[in-house]
């Protein structure tokens, strides 16, 4: 069923040895999984309450009480369980498995006979289920359950959770569809499409694929289902439009949910960024699985709008705080965007699925940008503190203005809407899926994450081992551990101006799609040498973006850098870079890393007045930059990515 | 009763001959007064409806219908009537007077027997009057009625409107006060204090002064009256706090209304900027009239916080869009503030009253900054289009983002909340009050607005005539038309680095308070020559303000300049000034003015990518600036005050 798509090896066949990522995965597996389990069980003092597991116990009839939290609170368990599923595939842990099984038992007890499972409606009023897809996230929650079930079943071989998910999916396939008596519903928050596609992948049952496609095809059709169901509820359309006018943006109603137009007619990314990128992921995957060319083209169009006109340097998306949403092209303010961690993860997921249908390095360049910057900044180095928003600059006092209060200036222990922490967790424990891809006898190395991979080829398995100290060093070796005849494709990152890929004295060139292909019969032990130039570089932003005029950012390899108050003092806006060369500085705080320094200047007022004709004084000042992902691990302070540049 | 204060001559004794301002006053008197009368009578097609006069007709029993508009809609008539009162003092107009009399007749018919007059409650439910001072603006409306009555009575000698206002004021003095059975109420929007002080000035009745002082003294006391009356209404405090959390800002509840602390304890300007500056005006005037030193010191403290840390270059105030309010010190974003036209007018009013108790040029510097920039930008050159917000830079597309939709990119014909148009109108028709002040035998020339003034001195009247072409020329003459012995004080503006004041061959120096004093026995026809250096200057903003780092603004004399798209093309952010000299360019579009030009540079992207390591290309480009007050008289387009500076 997947013959047209490039697929990754199973997680169990990948062993990540990478110094940079291993540390983070270890923290995720050893600390964050436990921390988040306790968080959703309300066992941690001093953080925002969750209520998630208590809701399940109440729904299962094991405890009395009312539902607590957001209507999508169940998804916190599901994303945690998905992360556990990935973790167990590479690191068995019977205690953790027992915890997960206990949660699955609760799910089973809470599930209704017809397969429905959403603790909000089970506790509140089951008669009202499926009456407000627009707002109530039942399908979103269902999608996360399906993703979790597939991951956990794959890890443990236990079918119980998969059966629960299939029962819910079957219920959904009965309630929603084009047939008579079925609701032509669409999810208010896309995600169920991805869950159904996973279920299709695991079960091979084509109806799940068709149901996913139904949800995509139905989206944006007229009359809009959100209006239909609102009328059924007796709700006036104006009431909603008025209440949501602040987030619905400039276009038609429902652009927040990308339901303003059929998906094939959406040329610009609008509305809630996570919704949009989950939808884009599903569009790309569905297009690849079904050969639907118009869906494929629409996915490509949305992708290009996002990545060429609406994406931050860190692969953050969602530049408009109202509605955590996309804005118009080139509207990329540095200090008041959302850049939700989940949105960068969703963009990573889109990149992977777009690549799987058409191997181009540009997709994986965005994936890399997201992994090393916009996603990793969402979790503290110690694995227990999280960012929901990931701004390009922070002036802590300003973030206390009402309009900017969505910007946290220090990572938080939990959130009322805690979508991001577990989303990062499942990304880190499932990281192996982003490194290698295969189709026929071609193996793609997409992300330079040191690892050993067993990969099935038409002529038998091979084992490939990538070694190196990426992202701080660009020198790597790829060893073919078992003799094999294959076509190896290595991504040359878009940021890399000079590279060298060689094997046995022969050098290889980059192809049009950004990959270097080596079609060889490799002997066991054959070594491919890879060198990517990692000279630190100033990066400039398109002149169409007002906010970065006169500024540059420092990058080195895939890493975006930033200045922090801890290294540079207050009022970072008064610092500017000179034209001098950038130096590298190996340091151990806040962790082992290569910092960058550049001779710069510091401006100060010539006098105390608010306005004066006296020019500012300028003194030399060395500027220090650390990688963006590591910012805010030394307390609250200013931060700036785009820095004035002489 | 006013012996301690510096006071301005009556408007009828001032004849404004100034080319710059005469044009605007003529437009105000010949076009805007008529336009606004028609607007509040709903006689203009295609603009936002008002309903103001219709409300009065309904309240007067002459028409059936429901109240329309905001609860403070009456104030639009009152500010119009105040403007008419000023206009008639210098330009009799029987037709206009008849219109005003017809409105006053309506007011009389609508007024209740006990003096109460607010069409909202008279039409809606009179039983609910005075139950929600926090939100319902009855005292605000009353204050504007009193100001209007004083102006109109002074112009025409007709007492009817003054009697109406005194009846309302007497009613208010009965209902509110410290006595038994009286409510310890405070206005939710300050203004009645100013109305009462005017009424005190016209009637000499000290109870109006005492009532104004009561409202100031009671403000911020505990328990807060807003809570008391809310409890009486059966309203939960939490309901209000939740609904208003977005505008109440960081501090306690009611900082939006400056009722979070007693006025004498308020060290920083917070909350709604117009409310704050009306309050400050009343504090300064009350302090001067009563000799209350703690009130005086509190006014000075607030003034300094505003003008030294929270004021835009144009004398705009209210940098936070939520709540149209002050923010924290140095938080002065260029593109998303409020800078309500009314707030700059309120700041002008504060400046005048602070000056009247203590003559210092710094107050009048701010008054000048407001008059020539932040206020004048609020009205189009043709007198029929208005800005509510006055930003420092505009990118029209961005102003369509939800969070920035309060920023109009073209002036509007009217507003649902139409406070600003009539406020500008009363400022322009009453402009004469801002030029001269007198105390004992000292005459202060505060604003260089060419005019002839008859001024009473202890030894008899004198007539002074200022001639010149300010603000475009700094050369002026002041002629003493009738022989007089007096102490002349001429303000040397803070922006002026070099000046010359001479009379009969003698030159005069600036005193510590920023004025040049000439104590002389002037013969009839004596001429004082004034020369203020008007070389265009780059102005820099304090390094404490992040938003203007690396930028400068061009000014010339009192005028702040800006770049417009009409002169410089799109993407103004890619333009920067060089260190070259600024040139002056006399031009006639959008009106007769001196524009400024400076050699500059234009940056363009080296390639189409959103991010690139290729440096931008730079080409020479002459930059053209026009005065800020004149911006947006040539259609919609970008505008920028603070420009990148090499």
Residues B254/B257/B263/B269 CA torsion (nearest 10 deg) = 100
End-to-end CA distance of chain A: 56
Which residue from A minimizes the CA distance to B539? A613
Angle made by CA atoms A126, A127, A128, in degrees to the nearest 5: 90
pLDDT score for B252: 61
C-beta atoms of A606 and B540 within 8 A: yes
| Alpha-carbon span A392 to A628, nearest angstrom | 9
Q: How far is Cα A505 from Cα A529, in angstroms, rounded to an integer?
A: 10
Contacts of B157 (CB under 8 A, 6+ apart): none
- Are A543 and B615 a contacting pair at CB < 8 A? no
Give the C-alpha separation, A555 to A542, whole Å: 16
Alpha helices in B176-224 (DSSP H): 192-203, 206-218
What fold does the segment set A236-378 form as a domain?
Glycosyltransferase (1.50.10)
pLDDT tens profile B428-442: 999 999 999 999 999
Task: Give the integer Cα–Cα distance in Å for B550 and A601.
Answer: 12
Q: Can you list the positions of beta strands (E) in B388-532?
A: 393-394, 436-439, 442-445, 451-457, 460-468, 475-480, 484-491, 499-503, 506-507, 515-522, 526-532
Distance from CA of residue B198 to its chain's centroid? 17
CA torsion sign, A354 to A263 to A79 to A340?
Answer: positive
Residues of B in contact with A576 (CB under 8 A): 550
Domain span(s) for CATH 2.60.40 in chain A: 436-532
Residue A628 CA: distances (Å) to CA of A414, A531, A596, B191: 21, 24, 12, 50
Nearest to B549 among A320, A603, A610 (CB): A603
The share of chain A scoring above pLDDT 70, in percent, equals: 98
Strand A475-480 to strand A460-468: parallel, antiparallel, or no bridges (unpaired)? Answer: antiparallel
Q: What pLDDT score was predicted for residue A251?
A: 56
pLDDT of residue B1: 44
From A496, A598, A498, A500, select the one nearest A556 (Cα to Cα): A496
Query: Which residues of chain A are in CATH 1.50.10.10 domains?
Result: 236-378
Which is it for strands B575-577 and B643-645: parallel, antiparallel or unpaired? parallel
Task: Please tell me the predicted confidence (pLDDT) of residue B401.
Answer: 81
Please give the pLDDT value at position A424.
98
Evaluate whether A630 touches A593 at the Cβ level (below 8 Å): yes
In A, residues 524-563, which contact B (CB 8 Å cutoff)?
A: 537-546, 549-550
- Pair B527, B478: CB distance under 8 Å: yes
Pick from A85, A89, A76, A91: nearest CA to A30: A91
What one-character DSSP code corresponds to residue A215? H
The structure tokens 């109806």 sit at A207
Give residue B605's pLDDT.
Answer: 95
- What is the distance of C-alpha B184 from the center of its chain? 29
Best of A409, A611, A617, A646 to disrupt the B interface (most B CBs within 10 Å) is A611
> What are the tens digits of pLDDT across the range A294-312?
999 999 999 999 999 999 9
Cα of B15 to nearest chain A Cα, Å: 34
Interface of A with B in 377-396 (CB under 8 A): 395
Q: Are A508 and A461 in contact (CB under 8 A)?
A: no
Interface touch A614/B321, C-beta < 8 Å? no
Residue with tokens 């309060």: B406
Segments in chain B below pLDDT 70? 1-3, 245-252
Burial of A440 (0-12, 13-18, 19+ CB in 10 A): exposed
Give chain A positions within 8 Å (CB) of B550. 550, 576, 603, 644
Q: How many CA atoms lie within 13 A of B165 on its CB side?
A: 33
Q: Is B512 exposed, middle or buried (0-12, 13-18, 19+ CB in 10 A)?
A: exposed
Residue B565: the pLDDT is: 98
Name the pLDDT band for A1 (thresholds 50, 70, 90): very low
Cβ neighbours for A593, distance < 8 A, ≥ 6 positions apart:
A472, A586, A587, A626, A627, A630
Of B331, B539, B614, the CB nearest to A612: B539
Inter-residue contact B559 to B519 (CB < 8 Å): no
A472 touches A20 (CB < 8 A): yes
CB B601 within 8 A of CB B576: yes
Task: Pick the residue from chain A with its C-alpha nearest to B311.
Answer: A610
State the ipTM, two decimals: 0.96
CB contact under 8 A, A542 and B322: no
Q: Which H or E run includes B619?
A: strand B617-627
- Write down the catalytic residue from A419, A420, A496, A503: A419
CATH match of A436-532 with 1.20.58: no
- Residues B539, A571: C-beta atoms closer than 8 Å: no
> Of A305, A300, A238, A242, whose CA–CA distance to A271 is shortest?
A305
pLDDT at B108: 98
- Token pair in block for residue A194: 């991805």
Nearest to B574 among A549, A606, A644 (CB): A549
Q: What DSSP designation does A30 have?
A: I
Q: Give the 3-state secondary structure of residue B586.
A: strand
Q: Are strands A526-532 and A475-480 parallel, antiparallel or unpaired?
A: antiparallel
Structure-block tokens of residue A386: 């999280």
Per the CB < 8 A criterion, the answer to whether B563 and B618 are in contact is: no
- A487, two tokens: 């076509």
- What predicted TM-score, i.e. pTM, was given to this entire model? 0.95
Are B402 and A246 an interchain contact pair (Cβ–Cβ within 8 Å)? yes
Instruction: Characterise B557 by phi-psi region: left (phi > 0), alpha (psi -120 to 50), beta (else).
Output: left
Residue B247: count of CB within 10 angstroms of its CB: 17
| Structure tokens belonging to residue A231 | 């009328």
pLDDT at residue number B17: 98
- H runs (alpha helix) in A474-615: 565-568
**DSSP three-state, residue B203:** helix
Q: How many CB atoms lie within 10 A of CB B454?
A: 17
Q: What element of type H or E holds A154?
A: helix A138-156
CA–centroid distance for A206 within its chain: 27
Q: Distances in Å between the alpha carbon of B148 and those of A299, B71, B283, B295, B423?
A: 63, 19, 20, 26, 12
* Token code pair at residue B505: 């061959």
CA-CA distance, B643 to B620, in Å (whole number)? 15
CB contact under 8 A, A402 and B246: yes
pLDDT of residue A426: 98
Is A546–B608 a contact, with Cβ atoms under 8 angstroms apart? no
pLDDT in tens, A562-614: 999 999 999 999 999 999 999 999 999 999 999 999 999 999 998 899 999 99
Among B63, B58, B35, B196, smallest CA distance to B121 is for B58
Candidate from A307, A403, A549 with C-beta closest to B403 = A403
Please return the burial class of A320, using the count of CB atoms within 10 Å of its CB with bins 0-12, 13-18 and 19+.
buried
**A587 has a chain B CB within 8 A of its CB:** no
Confidence band of A250 (pLDDT split at 50, 70, 90): low
Determine the pLDDT at residue A249.
Answer: 57
Among the partner residues B402, B537, B606, nearest to A247 by beta-carbon distance: B402
Structure-block tokens of residue B410: 């073209």
Give the pLDDT score at B587.
96
Contact of A280 with B581, CB cutoff 8 Å: no
The catalytic residue positions of B are 324, 419
């Amino acid at each position: 069923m997947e013959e047209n798509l490039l697929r990754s090896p199973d997680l169990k066949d990948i062993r990540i040895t990478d110094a940079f990522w291993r540390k983070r995965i270890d923290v995720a597996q050893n600390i964050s999984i436990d921390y988040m389990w306790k968080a959703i069980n309300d066992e941690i003092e001093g953080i925002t309450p969750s209520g998630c597991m208590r809701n399940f116990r109440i729904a299962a009839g094991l405890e009395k009480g009312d539902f607590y939290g957001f209507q999508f609170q169940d998804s916190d368990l599901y994303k945690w369980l998905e992360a556990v599923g990935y973790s167990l595939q590479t690191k068995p842990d019977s205690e953790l498995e027992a915890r997960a099984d206990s949660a699955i038992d609760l799910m089973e007890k809470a599930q209704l006979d017809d397969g429905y499972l959403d603790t909000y409606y089970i506790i509140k009023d089951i008669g009202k289920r499926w009456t407000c897809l627009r707002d109530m996230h039942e399908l979103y929650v269902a999608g996360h359950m399906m993703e979790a079930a597939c991951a956990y079943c794959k890890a443990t071989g236990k079918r119980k959770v998969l059966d629960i998910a299939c029962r819910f999916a079957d219920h959904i396939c009965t309630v929603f569809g084009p047939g008579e008596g079925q609701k032509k519903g669409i999810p208010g928050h896309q995600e169920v499409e991805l869950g159904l596609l996973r279920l299709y992948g695991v079960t091979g049952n084509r109806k799940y694929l068709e149901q996913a496609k139904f949800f995509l095809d139905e989206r944006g059709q007229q009359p809009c289902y959100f209006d239909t169901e609102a009328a059924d509820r007796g709700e006036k359309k104006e009431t909603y439009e008025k209440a949501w006018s602040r987030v619905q943006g400039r276009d038609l109603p429902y652009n927040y949910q990308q339901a303003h137009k059929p998906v094939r007619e959406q040329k610009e990314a609008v509305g809630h960024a996570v919704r949009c990128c989950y939808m884009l992921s599903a569009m790309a995957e569905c297009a690849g699985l079904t050969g639907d060319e118009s869906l494929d083209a629409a996915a490509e169009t949305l992708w290009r709008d996002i990545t060429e006109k609406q994406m931050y340097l860190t692969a953050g998306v969602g530049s408009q705080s109202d509605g955590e949403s996309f804005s118009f092209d080139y509207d990329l303010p540095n200090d008041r965007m959302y850049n939700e961690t989940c949105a960068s993860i969703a963009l990573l997921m889109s990149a992977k699925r777009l690549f799987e249908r058409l191997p181009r390095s540009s997709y994986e360049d965005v994936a890399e940008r997201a992994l090393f910057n916009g996603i990793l900044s969402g979790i503290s180095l110690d694995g227990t503190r999280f960012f929901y928003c990931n701004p390009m600059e922070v002036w802590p006092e300003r973030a206390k203005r009402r309009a900017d209060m969505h910007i946290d200036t220090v990572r938080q222990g939990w959130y009322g809407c805690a979508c991001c922490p577990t989303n990062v967790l499942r990304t880190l424990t499932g990281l192996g899926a982003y490194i290698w891809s295969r189709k026929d006898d071609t193996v793609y190395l997409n992300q330079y994450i040191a690892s050993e991979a067993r990969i099935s080829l038409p002529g038998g398995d091979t084992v490939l081992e990538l070694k190196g100290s990426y992202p701080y060093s660009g020198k790597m070796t790829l060893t073919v551990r078992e003799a094999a005849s294959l076509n190896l494709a290595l991504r040359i990152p878009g940021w890399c101006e000079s590279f060298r890929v060689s094997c046995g004295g022969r050098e290889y060139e980059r192809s049009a799609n950004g990959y270097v292909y080596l079609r060889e019969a490799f002997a066991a032990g054959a070594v491919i040498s890879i060198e990517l130039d990692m000279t630190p570089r100033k990066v400039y932003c398109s002149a169409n973006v007002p906010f970065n005029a006169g500024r540059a950012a420092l990058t080195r390899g895939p890493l975006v850098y930033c200045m922090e108050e801890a290294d540079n003092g207050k009022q970072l806006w008064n610092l500017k870079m000179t034209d001098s060369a950038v130096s590298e500085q190996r340091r151990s705080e806040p962790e082992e890393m290569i910092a960058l320094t550049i001779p710069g200047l510091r401006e100060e007022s010539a006098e105390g007045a608010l306005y004066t004709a006296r020019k500012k004084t300028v003194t030399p000042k060395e500027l220090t930059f650390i990688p963006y992902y590591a910012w805010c691990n030394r307390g609250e302070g200013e931060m700036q990515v785009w820095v004035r540049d002489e």
